[in-house]
Structure 1
């Protein structure tokens, strides 16, 4: 079964200072269905693969919309999109993956910072359409730098609070938590400092977050271990300074990958034996691991490859 789709870059739309939306139309047929919170891998012509949240309408199967913030200090993806990518180009796109799904609730508080608004846009639309009580606190340096700020205010009115730090400083998340309905769910996406603050004040059982960069964590020193690939009957050694992903790729197992930081989920593989040490930020489901960062607590792992 294929894991990639083809789409043509139909439009590039400026949506804020330093941010553009890409409208990608399916090449030859409808694109795969998705739900709010999903993201895709976009394979760029410069051979980089980058992950972007889908921020369009899930009912539109003819096109996807993603938004890219220009970060000159990035690893080259946003720089290429903003300076070199042109309409008419055919691109490969992964099937959507959703590590940030919108759970049913009667009330929601959405918190977005900067480009973290992208997964929140379809979430807010879905919550309002379902008849839920929904609020958005959208934080940015200034409205000029905040994608969709005007569009969101025009569509949702006083459901949306635009908070500019240049004018008002940082928002008071503790005050928001104090007035939160005990049954409400909180969805937060944005800079690491924002997510850290949200995790400090909102009940963990009610909070859902998505990070664009992994949280700082500490683990024991790496050691070498073996990976038994049960379908092929081969064993691959993973060195202490080597990732499982790299070891498998070098051994001839072409495992897909994207972020290589444990936040996108593209390198998921099935584990059928041994004890993995999960080092990702999204929470691998039972019997799976994200092999770009995760390792082994047992001397051997068995995987279905």
Structure 2
């Protein structure tokens, strides 16, 4: 269980960033802010699954505003190689949680889905910069390699192209309330689609035919969330994530059961540390 903590933390950092969202569009900001919190999320077992799991756990979190390594609301955890007024080139990360097939009806008898880590280059383009209205609109364009792990080895699972439009608004309706929304779409290679939707001959049975997955469009999502700072040390957050798979390349896979899935979560963070050193935007 201890070995899985990095995966859970990565997931909390990258899934729609509810915990990291703090006021960041004006004034000087610390280089590092560290906190600890707890959250509860309801998440589909895998993309297109008709079953969901509820995950409740404590977690550490941090905001890092270094020139080269960033963990913030504008792209999650990433290494930043180049930054101009409107563009950023980076190394970005993503991930997905594991699934025990014995706990999922559609995958019963199949191999487990191991934790998935995604890493690769990305481009962020700022479309609307903060002005008198503290808001920001950006387009994130990452291309990532998917790697599954059983904590003994890493296996390549192909590539993901996942452009995302992200909107962030401070002082939404009231002071200290932040609104953030996103729209994204995913295209993946055949190897990546195989990991979720392939049914090998040995796993075929009545109601689950053999299936050869193909690379291509794999679905789109929309997210909305709110984050409220009760004080400099306490933040609560909640969010909603809607995914739809109409038109997905593997819509006819016996493992892609739900054309529309919903995730939601809520939690709180206690920010216990702020560095004296100042960060960069």
TM-score, with structure 1 as normaliser: 0.26
Please state which structure has a larger fraction of its residues in strand: 2
By relative contact order (CA 8 Å, sep 6+), the higher-ranking structure is 2
The structure with the larger Rg is 1
Please state which structure has a larger fraction of its residues in helix: 1
TM-score, with structure 2 as normaliser: 0.27
